[in-house]
Structure 1
Amino acid sequence: MKKTTISFITVLVLLFGASNATLAAGNTYQVKKGDTLWAIAKKNNITVSQLKSYNKLTSDKIRPNQVLKVSATAKTAAKKTTAKTKAPAYKEITVRATAYTASCKGCSGITYTGINLKKNPNAKVISVDPKVIPLGSKVYVPGYGEAIAADKGSSVKGNKIDVFIPNKQRALQWGSKTIKVKVYIKN
């Protein structure tokens, strides 16, 4: 009888221990070499800002084997569920929009936030002045779609953006235009 009770308790401990580990594993991500905040956020269906917030990160630097939270705590999730659903808030900014490509001579193809544009040619990325549009922001660009502000450049100052287009000919066709973009504000 004692042996059966101990075996039963051991099974229960293992079951509950494993289920808690599985739950914890679903809420965290272990950084691998070459990972970026943007790629981790995209993989987990969250924004870079949320990822930084969950982990109290003040920079974009991460290191291999670092464990990051990739979802809100139960307490935060409960608050969001009980809060009234509102349309996403945004601010409109008039900008001068040009295009760039990663296939120019001397271009690494790696954005400031670590996105490899040569390996991800379909990525919707814009280069911004972080003083005007914070890096990691989601931005709607007419004629381009929803993009992530993931790069900055020496010629991108003030109300100017550069949209990433993988094809040089199509980038040239984009030209230079004045448009109103929507910068989504994180709640």
Structure 2
Amino acid sequence: MKKLLIVLSFALVLFLGTSLESSAASNTYTVKSGDTLYKISKMHKVSVNSLISWNKLKSTTIKPKQKLKVTGKAVKTASKAKTPSRAASGTVVREFTVSASAYTASCKGCSGITRTGLNLKKNPGLKVIAVDPRVIKLGTKVYVEGYGYAVAGDTGGAIKGNKIDVFIPSKSAALKWGRKNVKIKILK
């Protein structure tokens, strides 16, 4: 009987030790070649913003063999509020004129994934603008004249200073938008 108790106790200790170890291992993820924050966020059912916050990342660039925390306190993301409503718009913090062009996710070679991890191909109804983060912080709610309420959720190589790109799902509608000067309101 004593031997049986000792064997069962030993088995219990082994079981608890491995379950704690696997639990700790599931809290982190080792980046593999070809991984993106978006891909990792979908794999672990968390937002890209949460991954950035939990790992104190300065950008969305990650490297193979990098260890990332994949659990933690949820972070509110821009993707939760698809299009800011008038009721949730808050107050206007700043208003200025910008040069606005349009872009689409339907181009050859376009991934459709924004800088903040929004998938525009799967969610063509999202109202998203590409901004210079030094002028308009990513995740900011905005109102764009002629476009409506949107979220600053992307960046672009040609978007510098007081320029924005508005996301329009169809290529023909994006070309029709052209380039124009519009008033933009930064909302709190």
1:168 deviates by: 0.7
Q: Are residues 163 and 7 of structure 1, via their aligned partners in 2, closer, same or farther at CA, if it must alter by over 3 Å?
A: farther
SS at match of 1:10: helix
Counterpart Cα distance in 2 of 1:90 and 1:68:
36
* Secondary structure of 1:20's aligned partner: helix
- Equivalent residue number for residue 47 of structure 2: 46
RMSD (Å) for aligned C-alpha atoms: 4.0
**Partner amino acid for 2:31?**
V
Flag the 1:140–1:37 CA change in 2: closer, same or farther, 3 A. same
Q: Where does residue 178 of structure 1 map in the other structure?
A: 183
Q: Which residue of 2 aligns with 1:84?
A: none
Say yes or no: does 1:98 pair with 2:101: yes
**In the alignment, is residue 71 of structure 1 matched against residue 74 of structure 2?**
no
Equivalent residue, structure 1, for 2:60: 60
* Pairs aligned (count): 163
Paired amino acid for 1:8: L
Rounded to whole Å, the distance in 1 between the matches of 2:152 and 2:46 is 13
Helix, strand or coil for the counterpart of 1:138? coil
Partner amino acid, structure 2, of 1:24? A
TM-score with structure 1 setting the length: 0.61
In the alignment, which of 155, 159, 163 is matched to residue 160 of structure 1? Answer: 163
Which of 146, 169, 182 is residue 172 of structure 2 equivalent to? 169
SS of 2:140's equivalent in the other structure is strand
Assess, with a 3 A threshold, how the Cα gap between structure 1 residues 116 and 33 changes in structure 2: closer, same or farther.
farther
Gaps of 5+ in 2: 74-87
Task: Give the TM-score taking structure 2 as reference length.
Answer: 0.60
Question: What runs of 5+ residues in structure 1 fail to find an aligned partner?
Answer: 78-86
Q: Which amino acid counterpart does residue 155 of structure 2 have in structure 1? A: D
* Cα pair 2:135 2:161 within 8 Å, conserved: yes
- SS of structure 1 residue aligned to 2:7: helix
CA deviation map 1:29-63 (0-9, x unaligned): 34344332244346543352x42332233333212
